[in-house]
Structure formats: structure tokens, C-alpha cells
Structure 1
Amino acid sequence: MMEVESKLIKQGAEARVFQTMFCGKKAIAKERFKKPYRLPSLDEKLTQRRVVKEARCMAKCSKSGINTPTLYLIDNVNHVIYMEFIEGVTVKEFLRKNQDKIENKNKIEEIMKEIGIMLAKMHTIDIIHGDLTTSNMILRDNKSVVLIDFGLGYTSHLIEDKAVDLYVLERAFLSTHHNSEELFSIILKTYLENTGSLGVQVNKKFEEVRLRGRKRSMAG
């Protein structure tokens, strides 16, 4: 697929992610592969559309001041996006190693606030991430949070979609981190402080989505 040596670092249901080089820089190459169960012409069209959609979400977020990997190249013949390799650890890793250290309490609160501001900016420009987890946020050089993996991202002005985005993140916190209620509450509070009337609407819908989720859980 690639002329330079590449290392497979992740494979999902939709794509393979490689660590590679691009113009002398360490890079990430995300390749969407063919689905043999689909008609070739349909598969080609859907895959190209998905690659473009992902790249557009990243570009729009970056233009609005949200930290995302820099886009290097979109190869829509081979369905590969080349982008910046982010040096750092995921927020998930950082929290697991530092959450119980009292001396890191202020740093963790800063990170949660940064996530809240980031999501507020993203929803204000009608971008839905679709897979908000602490694994898809990288703490670059222990300083700033970079949002990655827009593979399920799309554009939507619907309040419900933004509420579901927040709900996905809350569930990710609940299933991954202890004391998650306190952490997520900082994100949500910051999000609401930076979204104005939009935030009021999203929060109302978010509570409805939460309620539906609890009912499904109780129903087994």
C-alpha cells in the first residue's frame, strides 16, 4: 500500500491505522479497506465518501481552533488519509496513571475543562464526533488535548445528535474511570458555560437521552 516502511498499530472494523513517514515526518496513515460483501461499485462510492467526510470534519474542527492532527494528504484512490503523528499519551492512560495522585488534581481539572471547551467549539460548528472516548484524546507533550479518530464523524445541526455525543463520552467515563461522575461534571459544566443557548437545549436533550439509557439498562 505504501512505499515507505509502515507499522500497523490498530485495526478496526472499518480501517487500518499505520505509523509511517510522510515527507520526512513521523505520520499516521489511516486506510479504509474494501468490504467484500458489498457490490464493488457501491463499496467504492461509500468508502470514498467516508474518507472525504472524515477529512472534512477534521479540517473544519482545526479551522475553528480545535486541536486535531494536521492533515497531510487525502489519497482517495487508495482510501488513505495521511496525518500528523501526535506525540503523547491518551487521556485514558494519563488518568489511569495519575488520577489518584493528589499533586495532579489541578492538572486533571485543567484537562477536563479543556475537553469541555473543545466539545463546545465542535458542537457550535455542528460537528458530531461519533466516538468520544478518552482513548480518542491525546495529551500532547503533557500540555494540550488533541482530538483524534473522526471515522464516525459527521455534520449535524440536530440537538439530539449533540446530546448523544455527550452521552457516549459519559458512558466511556463510567466504564473506564473511577470517580467518573466528578470528572465528567467538570466537562459538562465547562461545555455549558461555552455554548450559551445551544448548551441549554443540548443539556435538556442530554437528560432525556440519559433517562432512556437508564431505562434500557434496567430492562436488561
Structure 2
Amino acid sequence: MERLMRRGAEADIYLGEWFGKEAILKIRKPKPYRQKELDMEIRKRRTLHEASFLVEARKAGVLTPLVYFIDPKNAEIVMQYIKGMRLREMIFDQRANVDELCSEVGRSIAKLHGSSIIHGDLTTSNFLVVDNSTLIFIDFGLAFFSQRLEDMAVDLHLMKEVLTSAHSEVADRAFSLILKGYESIAGANRVKDLTRKMGEIERRGRYARVE
């Protein structure tokens, strides 16, 4: 018997078992406002999309939940259950090792970008921390492939905005550590280019708000 863990706008998350192991069942919900056949096709495509990026991220050297089973027809993914704390809570609780975790966030993002993977939803709620030290990326529903500097900069810019809005007291330090971690993998020149591009994105945002 599965136990509902979380309801979301796009999917419900259940805790259950898979061949004797605790597992997560993610089910994408039908949208009644969509034509039935179109809705099935969209949910099928998004299910396959997310599962494939969970696998691709692991190939890039980034830890993600293992995918056990995919049922595209019913828009279901069965994946590894990982018992951990979200990075969001770790920062709120001011855990002693948050600095190292932020550096690891940067290293992991650089590995994704080095494999042309854009996460698309880099928030502190989309990282699990196991045993206060191991970082796990989750929720690749918005991920896509790109080699464009702009897309990588947008990925990092979103992370910066989340830190500023949700963790304002530590945002500057946390993002600085993320960039240092990123630099250790991608190099100083890449970070310099990304920082310049993020500045352009921020200026465009300010102009849009003024208008």
C-alpha cells in the first residue's frame, strides 16, 4: 500500500515498496481541461523526459535517485527512496557543513553543464542531503540539453534568486561558494563568462520591471 507523501500541481508522490525496497512512486496527474488523448501524450512524454534526465545526470557524475521502473502509459516513475533533509532546511537550521554543501552544489551544477544538461529548476528544495554530507539532485522535470552560455547562466541566476528570496541572510556567501565550487570544475574563465551573462540577465529583468 502506497502512502501519499506530497501532492503537487503536476504530480503526486507516494512512498511504497519495489521488490522489498522502499521506493518512491511519482504519478503525473491528468489535466481535465486538456483533450484526453493529448493529455495522455503530454504526461507520457514528460514522464519519459524526467526519467531519462535522472539517468543522464548520473552519467555526468551527479547523484540522483535510481530509476527502477517507468510506466509511460500511466505516467508513472518508480525510483529510489532517499531519506534525507532538503538543502532548504539545512540552510534554515544553519547546519555547520552548509558551506561545503554549497560548494558541492556548484561542483555538481558544473558537471551537469559540462554534459550540456540544464536543470531548469535549481532551488534549494530540489537538493536532498543524506547523512549531513551527500548531495542528491532531484526533480528533473524541467531539464533540457543545451550548450548555450545563456541557458547555463539562467540556471545559475535562478539559484541566486532563490537564495536571495528564501535565504537572504546567507545568500551572498552561499552563492559565492556555489560559484567557487563551479569554478573548481569548469575553470575561472567559464565562471567569468557566466557571471557577465548573469549580469546581463539581471539588467534585463530590472528594465522589464521598470517598463
* Common topology (TM > 0.5): yes
Measured on the aligned residues, the alpha-carbon RMSD in Å equals 1.6
**Displacement of 1:41 after TM fit?**
1.9
- 2:197 aligned partner: 205
Q: Distance in 2 between matches of 1:25 and 1:215?
A: 52
- Cα pair 2:44 2:74 within 8 Å, conserved: no
CA distance in 2, matches of 1:61, 1:11: 25
Deviation at 1:21, TM superposition (A): 1.2
Say whether 1:81 aligns with 2:77: yes
1:193 is aligned to 2:154 = no
Matches within 5 A, 1:94-113: 94-98=90-94, 104=96, 107-113=97-103
Q: 1:144-164: CA deviations, max 9, x gaps?
A: 110101111122222221111
C-alpha contact 2:63 2:135 (8 A) present in aligned 1: yes
Tell me whether 186-195 or 126-135 shows the greater mean CA deviation. Answer: 186-195
* Structure 1 residue 216: Cα displacement: 3.8
SS at 1:30's partner residue?
Answer: strand
Between the aligned partners of 2:196 and 2:86, the Cα distance in structure 1 is 30
Which of 99, 120, 129 is the aligned partner of 1:139?
Answer: 129
Instruction: State yes or no: 1:115 paired with 2:110.
Output: no
2:148 corresponds to 1:152: no
What residue ranges of structure 2 are gaps of 5+ in the alignment?
none
The residue type equivalent to 1:211 in the other structure is: R
Q: Is the 8 A contact 2:179 2:191 kept in 1?
A: no
Structure 1: how far apart are the matches of 2:52 and 2:88?
26
Matched AA of 1:214:
R
Match of 2:86 among 86, 90, 96: 90
User: 2-side partners of 1:84 and 1:147: how far apart?
Assistant: 12
The equivalent residue for 1:18 is 14
SS of 1:82 mapped into structure 2:
strand
Q: Could you tell me which residue of structure 1 aligns to residue 156 of structure 2? A: 166
Shift of 1:198: 4.4
Asked if 1:62 corresponds to 2:63, the answer is no
Deviations 1:4-44 (A, max 9, x none): x1122222221111111111111111111111222222222
The answer on whether the counterparts of 2:40 and 2:73 sit within 8 Å (CA) in structure 1 is: no
Amino acid at match of 2:171: S
Instruction: Specify the code of the residue in structure 2 equivalent to 1:71.
Output: V
Moved more, 152-161 or 136-145: 152-161
* Letter aligned with residue 7 of structure 1: R
Corresponding residue of 2:170? 179
**SS of alignment partner, residue 130 of structure 1:** coil
CA distance in 1, matches of 2:201, 2:23: 38
Instruction: Report SS of the residue matched to 2:73.
Output: coil
- Partners of 2:199 and 2:164 lie apart in 1 by 16
Q: What is the deviation of 1:210?
A: 1.9
